[in-house]
Amino acid sequence: MEIKAKELSKVYGSGESRIVAVDKVDLEIAANDFISIMGPSGSGKSTLLHLLSGLDKPTSGSLTYDGKDIYGFADRELSAFRRQRIGFIFQQFNLLPVLTAKENIIMPLLLDKKQPDEAYLKLLTELLGISERLTHLPHELSGGQQQRVAIARALIAQPDIVFADEPTGNLDSKSGGEVMDMLRDIWHRTGKTLVIITHDNRIAKMAERQFVIMDGVLSEVTAR
Ligand code: ADP
Ligand code: ADP
């Protein structure tokens, strides 16, 4: 899937309190791209991720997925599009505490009344090293294991693109490194688009295309 953002901007407030959180961002993301967007706190990373993934609407500018203007979708159409085509990984894992690891992983499919492809589920959980942990509740797992469950959940519907917002932000450097190695391995094997938001330079450097955002202005660091 090809994603094109043109002059994407998000402005909060007005007058004295006016903030340009995302400032005329032009970005083309190709299928199979592995992108990192690095910037300090308050630079506009989360806002840009929300715009790119259709969680939030821009003040101006356009965003297309394979030529389709996703902000032109009706709300229900956009939610279904996000559930089926986009995977999200969050800093806080966002697992449901009363469900087992497996139930958490397949939840996005159940919401669409679909059954998991057991072979794909097995492959994913083996790649992530959690196949022996599927009947455990989140609190019985380490932070790194919880994030790996969340990654399996993000991938179970076989989305075209995965957005990860500070995926290692709550992990120590060892388990954070393991999670990143696994994400990169899965990216290689599945050929999905991966966009990672981070303030950590070591994580940003793992991506093939590296961007920096400062005061809402996005620049590509890698030569193309
Ligand atoms: P980052 O993710 O890099 O920390 P954000 O995208 O969260 O940055 O924020 C970018 C700027 O926009 C910051 O100055 C922040 O205070 C401001 N901002 C973010 N969300 C809102 C909001 N809902 N209302 C007003 N200002 C906001
Ligand atoms: P932060 O980056 O502020 O620590 P998160 O990364 O946990 O917060 O979540 C980022 C945003 O994504 C939240 O503001 C929330 O509105 C949205 N969000 C969280 N979970 C989901 C979800 N499962 N589906 C869609 N949007 C979500």
pLDDT digits (tens, 9 = 90+) for 2-61: 999 999 999 999 999 999 999 999 999 999 999 999 999 999 999 999 999 999 999 999
Each domain of the chain, given as residue ranges in start order, spans 3-222
> How much is the pLDDT for 224?
64
Q: Report how far apart, in Å, the C-alpha atoms of 83 and of each of 13, 50, 162 are.
A: 30, 14, 11
Ligand 1 centroid–CA 216 distance in Å is 9
Instruction: For 115-153, write each residue's pLDDT tens digit.
Output: 999 999 999 999 999 999 999 999 999 999 999 999 999
Instruction: For 58-81, write each residue's pLDDT tens digit.
Output: 999 999 999 999 999 999 999 989
Ligand 1 centroid–CA 23 distance in Å is 12
Indicate the pTM of the whole model: 0.88
> How much is the pLDDT for 111?
85
Q: Calculate Rg over the CA atoms of the chain.
A: 17
| Atom 6 in ligand 2: residue holding the nearest Cα | 90
Q: Which atom of ligand 1 is nearest to the CA of 10?
A: 12
Choosing among 3.40.50.300, 1.10.260.40, 3.30.110.30, 3.40.50.10800, the CATH entry for 3-222 is 3.40.50.300
Phi and psi based region of residue 13 (left: phi greater than 0; alpha: psi -120 to 50; beta: remaining): left
Q: Report how far apart, in Å, the C-alpha atoms of 97 and of each of 11, 106, 136 are.
A: 36, 14, 10
Nearest ligand to residue 108 Cα = 2
Kindly compute the dihedral angle of the four CA atoms of residues 157, 163, 169, 173, in this order, to the nearest 10 degrees.
Answer: 80
Q: How many Cα atoms sit within 13 Å of 14 on the Cβ side? A: 1
| Atom 11 in ligand 1: residue holding the nearest Cα | 21
Report long-range pairs for 207-211 (Cβ below 8 Å, ≥24 apart). 207/34, 207/35, 207/36, 208/33, 208/34, 208/35, 209/33, 209/34, 209/35, 209/36, 210/35, 210/36, 210/38, 211/27, 211/35, 211/36, 211/37, 211/38
The two three-digit tokens of residue 189, written as one number: 């094997």
The two three-digit tokens of residue 4, written as one number: 């094109």
> How much is the pLDDT for 191?
87
- How many Å apart are CA 25 and CA 216, to the nearest integer? 8
Residue of 37, 52, 55, 85 to test ligand 2 pocket, by largest number of atoms within 8 Å of CB: 55
- How many Å apart are CA 157 and CA 193, to the nearest integer? 14
> How much is the pLDDT for 172?
93
What is the CB < 6 Å shell around ligand 1?
A: 12-13, 19, 21, 39, 41-47
